[in-house]
Amino acid sequence: MSELISIGHNIWIYNGPAVPFFGMPYTTRSTIIKLSSGELWVHSPGKLTDGLLCELTQLGEVKYLISPNKLHHLFMGDWQEKFPTATLFASPGVDKKRPDLKFHRQLDDTAEPEWQNDIDQLIFKGSAVMEEVVFFHKKTSTLILTDLIENFHPNHFSGFKKVLAKITGVISPNGKTPIDWRASFIFGKQQARACFSKMADWQPQYIVIAHGECIEKAAEAFLHRSFSWLGINKAA
């Protein structure tokens, strides 16, 4: 059985195992894009398996490994070992958190020359604790997120963990930025609104979410609902 799931032309997701985060089981998801150059771009690299390695080898050369925020770096070392010629890209702060990894370049608000024809990007600013680099695959109108929106199936958690997830605001179909991260934008909402406006201007038709259910229909409406905490009126 294939470990890569195609969600459009030259774009796949890989659903890895759940990992514990403050005692909560967090599902993991990577996004793989085959660029116009034929090289492979890997967002939030997950746990490597023999099957995944085989499929990637058949697709092309793994050339770019992306850590989109300070929480998505767990398996980067394994990928760097398997793909020593790949370039590692660091999101703001992750290089200081993982000094054991050799990051080659820093991500910013401008798409890298190697993928600017295929992928757009921005740093979602405004939080005092973490910034996430957001990506948009142009040909498939796919928005790629990690923790800016979490959207777990209602039955993913049980007991007190389910209650906590509801309080946090990360249960499908109304997933959003977790409440603790939302609170960190208290003095940066103006910056966050500007970032959201640019992200919304991409008009995504599909949203990849690292933790929980991806959005395959009415993606723009879902995006605006998820960021309603910013006080942005869609009609505006």
Domain that holds residue 163: 4-107+117-230
Beta carbons of 46 and 67 less than 8 angstroms apart: no
Domain containing residue 66: CATH number: 3.60.15.10
Mean pLDDT, residues 111-132: 94
Residue 112 lies in a domain: no
Beta carbons of 143 and 216 less than 8 angstroms apart: no
Q: CA 113, CA 135: separation in Å to the nearest integer?
A: 14
Greatest CA separation found in the chain?
A: 49
pLDDT digits over 214-232, tens only?
A: 999 999 999 999 999 999 8
Residue 202 lies in a domain: yes
Beta carbons of 145 and 223 less than 8 angstroms apart: no
pTM: 0.91
Mean pLDDT, residues 56-64: 96
Residue 235 lies in a domain: no
Residue 236 lies in a domain: no
DSSP state of 91: P
Beta carbons of 30 and 17 less than 8 angstroms apart: no
Each residue of 92-117: b (16+ CB within 10 Å) or e?
bebbeebeebebeeebeeebbebbee
C-alpha 142, offset from chain centre: 11
The pLDDT confidence band at residue 145, using thresholds 50, 70 and 90, is very high
Higher pLDDT pick, 211 / 13 = 13
Q: How many domains does the chain have?
A: 1
% of the chain beyond a pLDDT of 70: 92
Asked if residue 189 has pLDDT above 90, the reply is yes
Determine how many CB atoms are found less than 10 A away from the CB of residue 20. 8
C-alpha 144, offset from chain centre: 5
3-state secondary structure of 118: coil
CA atoms within 13 A on the CB side of 153: 6
The pLDDT confidence band at residue 61, using thresholds 50, 70 and 90, is very high
Question: What is the residue whose two structure tokens read 């003095």?
Answer: 187
